[in-house]
Structure 1
Amino acid sequence: MQGNWIYLALSGLSGVLLALSLQWCILLLFILLILRIYFLQHLRFLLLASIVFLFFYFIGVSLELQRITVYSEDDSRFIVTMIELPQIDGDRLKGVVKTKEQEKLVLHYTIASKTEKEYLLRQLFPGNKLLIIGKLQRPEKNRNEHQFNYQQYLYYNHIHWILKAEELILYEENPGKSFYEHFLIMRAKGLKHIEEKYPPEAIPYVKALIFGDRSSMDEETEQIYRHLGIVHLLAISGLHVGMIISVLYYLLLRVGITRETCYLLLMLFLPFYAIISGGNPPVLRASVMSMLLLSALRWKWPLTPFDAISISFLLFLLVDPYVCFHIGFQLSYAVSAALVCSEKIIARSQVFWIKMLVISLVSTFASIPILAYHFYEFSLVAVIANLFFVPLYTFFILPLAFVTFFMSFTYQTPFNMLTNLFEAVIGISKWLSNPFASHWLTYITGRPHSVILFLFVAALIFLFRSWEKKGFSYRYILPLLLVLLLQAVINLYSPFGEVVFIDVGQGDAILIKLPYRRGTYLIDTGGEFTFSQESWQEREKRFRVGKDILLPILKSKGIRTIDTLLITHSHLDHMGAAHELVAQLNVREILLSPQSWRQPVMQELLQAASEKNVSIREVKDGHGWENKAGRFRIVYPYGSGEGANNDSLVLYAEMGAKKWLFTGDLEKEGEEMLMQRYHFQVDVLKVGHHGSKTSTTEVFLQMLQPTYAVISAGKNNRYGHPNSEVVSLLEAEGVVVYRTDLEGAIHYKYFGNKGTFYKIQP
């Protein structure tokens, strides 16, 4: 079996994926696996691999059949147990709880007062029992293509409901706790101890590096580390586990403990550390692998590191087959497997920095397919960044985090001195990372097709095998570059055009992507309204339309450049997220209605545009452009305005063999002025002002005679948009109505003169 466990691991993975997500590439994987075993003439092993495949296939099928819930939307009273330390951000409490029927729920609660917040911060720990009065809500399906699928994420974590709590009462503060819960409480107390002892600058790093908790890390730092490709350093991973084991092993030997006893003690320590550090898949993977290798050393088992990876992989699938959909799990195993496969390549390098460079290259290449699929981009400087930051974290930041943590329980003076040193080193890491903070250091791939992913993995295998047998040569990287080039060509020269009415909630954001990338335009960006709150209510990590909706959607389509950003008028629900896009993407020009830039809400956008040297132009009726893929003309307004609804830029377009009218928030008065100058008919009308009764008059519709109408409005919005009379009028005129509040994002995809509408939520 030595060296062959990988075939069983791949057989188990094929069986699970075939049961949970039937795709042609999974069948192809298993067929290639069977052929590989057959040509190795391991016929008995072929039978074993087939049995493992069928075993895990039936585990996956049975798991799907068992995915039921014992609750319904009528249930309103619950006694639950906290199974993790809840996150309290501003006036929002969020955590995972378990009911007496052992079903997990996501708990959401809005804290009523500052006093209650302080009480909950003090009293809530894993293992506490709570009495909850509230409502169950189904996690919603995605409302936009390629947006983070929260419903699917919860499903893979065996969660069917979100519990919206109206009342939250600490039902039993100190119930009998399990062995596991005691460790969770230790972890929670450790996190609170860090918050009490450390200076604010150090808290996020110590919590992340010791306990695997990144909830306190500010978004700007995470974004910089993501652009550099070193965000893994802010999470506990195999690097941390390996370093801790090495230090403990050395210390145990120094105090006179035998090697065999050291192995046993470390095997006992690892499960404890995995729980304390958050139990994330990378930590569990490293812990299980280390336990297997320590067992092999202790009892002389014929086990290679690659066998340990494969066995731990099978154990994970056996415990929870859905873990294979966890991004951290995928990255951890992909990088670990690549490093083990490249062991001979790494061993050839005698110089430390060359060895580090090889490790960084292998890790970066192995992670690219997963990063491209889930995040639609990867860092262009990850290899170099890891070369500097991995030693910095390994030899300075990580050891200082542990030393200061243990010192925090003893003498204050040495703790303060070491904490000052820790802050200085963190300051150095920030100083080193700031020059590389630009988003231009990431390559936007778009979401690759499964064929592209398959080709990329094949190119990786070719690279590593050739490198191992014949030494490094630049020509071995060519297949990888060709696959990336193919993905870029698909993005840039796709013959398909697309118009997407993005669901940004209560607001407008319309993407126009012309065939062969002859033009990429965005009409409005949506935005979120903010209301004045007390300081204790303000959230550090807020939902943002730009970060959470627009950027992922645009990047998933391989869009780095927006040729024209058209802001219809200066209301937050139409331009509130514009400054985020300008900061993160290449925007060539911004079109504004006359005088709208004078409004205070525009200042953040103007500042971002100025910093990026983006052209800003005031336009009105008569401004237009055309190319081989379409004609575009601004048909309203006619003079200066103030950026109000009736000053909205109105765009008339001809593309995809259809005529379109995008009206912003134009109301009745503006419609009348438009009709006085123009008399045209359109195929598709973007209904003005989210379907408000102040827009879309009968005479306006009779002039336009649209076949389709799209209403962009937020689900259950406070304004009652769209107005029922407007919807009835559209239907009475025989217009097919699409609504983002009911159906999510609305897409029109076309090829040549043929196209079709489709909805994200049918």
Structure 2
Amino acid sequence: MDKPFVKLTFLLIIGILLAFCFDISIEFISLLLGIIVFIFITNVMKNRDNNIIIIFVFIFLGLFITSINKNSSLESLIDQRVDFIGRVSKVVYSDENKGKYMVDIVEADNHRVKEKIMLNIVDGGILELGDCVEFNGVLKFPKENTNPKLFNYRLNLLTHKIYTTMSIKGYSITGIQRENKPIRYRVTQKFTDDINGLFNKYLNPQNSGLISSIILGNSNFLDEEELTLYRDLGLAHILAVSGLHIGIISGCLIFVFSRLGIKRKYNYVITLSIIWFYAILIGYSPSTLRACLMFSILFLSDLVHEPYDSLNTIFISMFILLIFNPFWIFSVSFQLSYIATISIILIKPKITQCLYPYKGKLINSLSSVVAVNIGLLPINAYYFNTLPLLGIIANLISIPILSIALIVGMFMVTFNYLFPFIISILGIVLNLLLNINSMIINFLGDFPFIKLNIFSPDIITILIYYFLLSIILGLIKFNRMEMKIKKFIFCYLLITVLITTIRFNIDDSIEVDFIDVGQGDSILIHTKTSNYLIDTGGSFNEDFDIGKNITMPYLLKNGFNRLDGIIITHFDADHCKGLDAVVENIRVKSIFASYIPEDNRYKLNIIADNNKIVLDKNTILDIIWPKDSMDIDHLSANDKSLVMILSYFNHEILFTGDIEKEVENLLLDSLYPVDILKVAHHGSKTSSTEDFINKIRPKYSIISVGRNNFYNHPNLEVVERLSDSDSIIYRTDEMGQIKIILDRDGIDIIPYVRDRSMDELFNLSIYLLFLLISFVSIKSLNVGKECLRLELY
């Protein structure tokens, strides 16, 4: 079988996907797998063809390994206060006031268990790697994303085989034992401490943080501004230990050992032992393990004089890692690492051909960087929404410098244990290299346009991108296809374009998205010709910026990099604090408000009840409060809120900000029944009076409110009042983002959480697509070990 592990890994992933999508009992899967294996053995004994059976064997293998890892053994303890004993296996971050730790639980509620949890500690109780800790608290399931395309914390933790989280105060820790730590924790901690101490001693703080991040694969050593700059320049991959690091380290070790006269067989064994030990010390991330596995297979094939196939080797390593942890398929680092490497193998030779007759190390490096950027374009767009405009230049200049810096840094670490007197000289050289790199990075960072904000593509866009790329690269060969298939593809594309064009021209519908920003408001109105945002959300918690982490990413990921206007109903933090993040990253034509706050930094257009905002020819936003003739300075911030009615054909939506009953009473005479009400002040008892509700009689009521908020919003009486008026209630705390689609014929309301599509599987769909393209093109490929040696990621 040609490149067998490409096919087998593809089948394994199908099984993982099926198990993740559907709840299938492990007993049923085991039974079917047993039957299939029995048929396989029978066919072998009777010399029958087993191709179909092999397909089912590996699909069911994926089903089996995913199912046995899918559920938490601590699930029965959710929402209960229980005593736990565990050991800290990773310090995610820690400071004087708070910390986040991965803890291997060994005992829960006086029962032996074996499972990781994510433990958050506030107000004391600082833990160290390897600490045995006793504590009590309440287990929770981690949050999923409640807005489309945003970060899914639960899925992220699942890639680490973490199913539950817990947040406690320092006083909930009843005991910490630091003696008799297992040796692996003591060695890992010493290695990390020695590296930090070494570089802090001989390098300036900025250079120390950078080289520590590079060697340890941990970006926590960099400040946020520096980390953002590296990401914007397309250099973030240098901060994750992968093929570049392992290749440099392996190459240096093999060179040194060969010069010492060590035979090749022992040279390879020692080198592999060192890089695997290094992988263990830094936490064996998927990208690190991929690189170590591939280099192990490369060295083994060289020793046994067997032909080496880069593509097949990639899928061997992928197969092994997914058997170990099937949820790594959802890991961003896993996807980026593998797709980057596959891109080098499949795309780089084509680019090199295009650059012929030019050749050399520079051309090889340029070809690799361009190949990776092409292969990862839609993946980077989906996750990070930026296209580094200077990425190729930054990589060509910075990577050679940082590669040399990595070698010098590793020699410093080695000589620190063997020949300390050489360290100071190496420190001077390393400081110089990193200073040069810093000058280059800062110079490139000063360019006015170093990145382009782009939307997160949907699956159709991804399919089209890779399909066209495969044609351009010759991976899909039309000349080998039957005429019927060519006609089908042509007709399908033609019909798709025609339907899309016609639908766009006749579709006059508008969309109103109530973004889930927790305890706050942010509403996006999207028409055919304009985009307006009512409020930006905000946060009273300085540790989590709603604008930066929810509102702005939501807009960018869904393709809104330009707003015709932002309307701030009033300047309470939960309605306006996200304004800075939005304005700094998205082009905004105008900002509207009912008054100017004391700390205003923006040019505001003041509007009142004599104003209308025309969104398009069918959609108008009428301002009905505050009254233009009225002095509102004496009113509370809530009662200064803009009140608006959106009119679209025969549909109306009433937006109320945070007005309270006094303003509601003043507006009674000018109100009439509406289709949809944005419930005032998150359902507070100070708003939504009975007279007000009876006057507008909304068919649907939307409450934008945070989960478990300490205001106890929405008020039970308000909810009952709305229900008694036969209004159907939608709440962001229960349903996440609420999408409203208005067209001439009716209203369609789509809660994201309840009617969630296959969003969780989007990452996997992208990856499966790339594998499929690789699978299709296998017979036309002939690549060797030189591709691996040129690997950059």
TM class by shorter-chain length? 0.7 to 0.9
- Distance in structure 1 (CA, Å) of the matches to 2:218 and 2:210: 9
Q: Map residues 330-345 of structure 1 onto 2, 5 A cutoff.
A: 330-342=335-347, 344-345=349-350
Residue 611 of structure 2 corresponds to: 623
Alpha-carbon distance change, 192 to 135 in structure 1, aligned in 2, over 3 angstroms: farther
Alpha-carbon distance change, 131 to 67 in structure 1, aligned in 2, over 3 angstroms: closer
Structure 1 runs of 4+ aligned residues shifted over 6 Å read 466-470, 489-495
- Distance in structure 2 (CA, Å) of the matches to 1:426 and 1:311: 36
SS in 1 for 2:262: coil
- Distance in structure 1 (CA, Å) of the matches to 2:117 and 2:66: 23
Higher mean C-alpha deviation, range 576-585 or range 253-262? 253-262
SS in 2 for 1:215: helix
Q: Map residues 45-56 of structure 1 onto 2, 5 A cutoff.
A: 46=51, 50=55, 53-56=58-61
Residue 683 of structure 2 corresponds to: 691
Residue 553 of structure 1 corresponds to: 554
Q: 2:86 aligns with which of 76, 80, 89?
A: 80
Residue 20 of structure 1 corresponds to: 20
- Distance in structure 2 (CA, Å) of the matches to 1:355 and 1:617: 55
- Distance in structure 2 (CA, Å) of the matches to 1:59 and 1:746: 36
Residue 214 of structure 2 corresponds to: 209
Contact 1:660–1:684 (Cα < 8 Å) also in 2: yes
Residue 635 of structure 1 corresponds to: 624
Contact 1:270–1:291 (Cα < 8 Å) also in 2: no
- CA deviations on 1:515-535 (whole Å, 9 max, x unpaired) are x3x21111111111257xxxx
Alpha-carbon distance change, 747 to 331 in structure 1, aligned in 2, over 3 angstroms: same
Higher mean C-alpha deviation, range 213-222 or range 574-583? 213-222
Contact 1:625–1:633 (Cα < 8 Å) also in 2: yes
Contact 2:81–2:136 (Cα < 8 Å) also in 1: no
SS in 1 for 2:410: helix
- Distance in structure 1 (CA, Å) of the matches to 2:475 and 2:730: 54
Matched, 1:146 2:149: yes
Residue 434 of structure 1 corresponds to: 445
Matched, 1:651 2:644: yes
Q: Map residues 17-166 of structure 1 onto 2, 5 A cutoff.
A: 17-21=17-21, 46=51, 50=55, 53-60=58-65, 62-63=67-68, 68-69=73-74, 71-72=76-77, 73-89=79-95, 91-100=97-106, 101-112=113-124, 117=126, 120=127, 124-125=128-129, 127-166=130-169
TM-score by length of 1: 0.83
- CA deviations on 1:585-629 (whole Å, 9 max, x unpaired) are 1111111223x24x22x33xx3xxxxxxxx631222222132234
Residue 226 of structure 1 corresponds to: 231
- CA deviations on 1:268-324 (whole Å, 9 max, x unpaired) are 122111112331111110111001101111121232222211211111122122211
Residue 680 of structure 1 corresponds to: 672
* Residue 420 of structure 1: how far off its partner (Å): 4.0
* Residue 747 of structure 1: how far off its partner (Å): 2.0
SS in 2 for 1:81: strand
Alpha-carbon distance change, 62 to 719 in structure 1, aligned in 2, over 3 angstroms: closer
Higher mean C-alpha deviation, range 690-699 or range 250-259? 690-699
Please tell me the residue identity of whatever aligns with 1:702.
N
- CA deviations on 1:208-235 (whole Å, 9 max, x unpaired) are 1011111232222233332332221222
Q: Which runs of 5+ in 2 are unaligned?
A: 23-47, 107-112, 480-489, 755-793
Aligned residues: 691
Residue 544 of structure 2 corresponds to: 543
Residue 262 of structure 2 corresponds to: 257
Alpha-carbon distance change, 695 to 84 in structure 1, aligned in 2, over 3 angstroms: same
Higher relative contact order (CA 8 A, sep 6+): 2
Residue 723 of structure 2 corresponds to: 731
* Residue 401 of structure 1: how far off its partner (Å): 3.8
- CA deviations on 1:706-726 (whole Å, 9 max, x unpaired) are 222222222222223222232
Residue 655 of structure 2 corresponds to: 662
Residue 775 of structure 2 corresponds to: none
Residue 197 of structure 2 corresponds to: 193
Residue 535 of structure 1 corresponds to: none
Alpha-carbon distance change, 191 to 624 in structure 1, aligned in 2, over 3 angstroms: farther
Residue 448 of structure 1 corresponds to: 458
Contact 1:76–1:135 (Cα < 8 Å) also in 2: yes
- Distance in structure 2 (CA, Å) of the matches to 1:309 and 1:83: 29
SS in 1 for 2:726: coil
Matched, 1:592 2:593: yes
- Distance in structure 2 (CA, Å) of the matches to 1:45 and 1:381: 51
Alpha-carbon distance change, 556 to 369 in structure 1, aligned in 2, over 3 angstroms: same
Alpha-carbon distance change, 723 to 54 in structure 1, aligned in 2, over 3 angstroms: closer
Alpha-carbon distance change, 743 to 16 in structure 1, aligned in 2, over 3 angstroms: closer
* Residue 738 of structure 1: how far off its partner (Å): 2.1
Higher mean C-alpha deviation, range 227-236 or range 44-53? 44-53
Q: 2:406 aligns with which of 398, 406, 409?
A: 398
Alpha-carbon distance change, 203 to 554 in structure 1, aligned in 2, over 3 angstroms: same
* Root mean square deviation of aligned Cα: 3.3
Residue 505 of structure 1 corresponds to: 518
Please tell me the residue identity of whatever aligns with 2:258.
L
* Residue 131 of structure 1: how far off its partner (Å): 0.8
Of all paired residues, the percent bearing the same amino acid is 28
- CA deviations on 1:240-266 (whole Å, 9 max, x unpaired) are 111111111111111111222211111
- CA deviations on 1:130-167 (whole Å, 9 max, x unpaired) are 11122212213333222211112223432221122342
SS in 2 for 1:85: strand
* Residue 192 of structure 1: how far off its partner (Å): 4.8
Residue 44 of structure 2 corresponds to: none
Alpha-carbon distance change, 727 to 381 in structure 1, aligned in 2, over 3 angstroms: same
Q: Map residues 695-706 of structure 1 onto 2, 5 A cutoff.
A: 695-706=687-698
Contact 1:520–1:564 (Cα < 8 Å) also in 2: yes
- Distance in structure 1 (CA, Å) of the matches to 2:345 and 2:583: 42
* Residue 414 of structure 1: how far off its partner (Å): 3.6
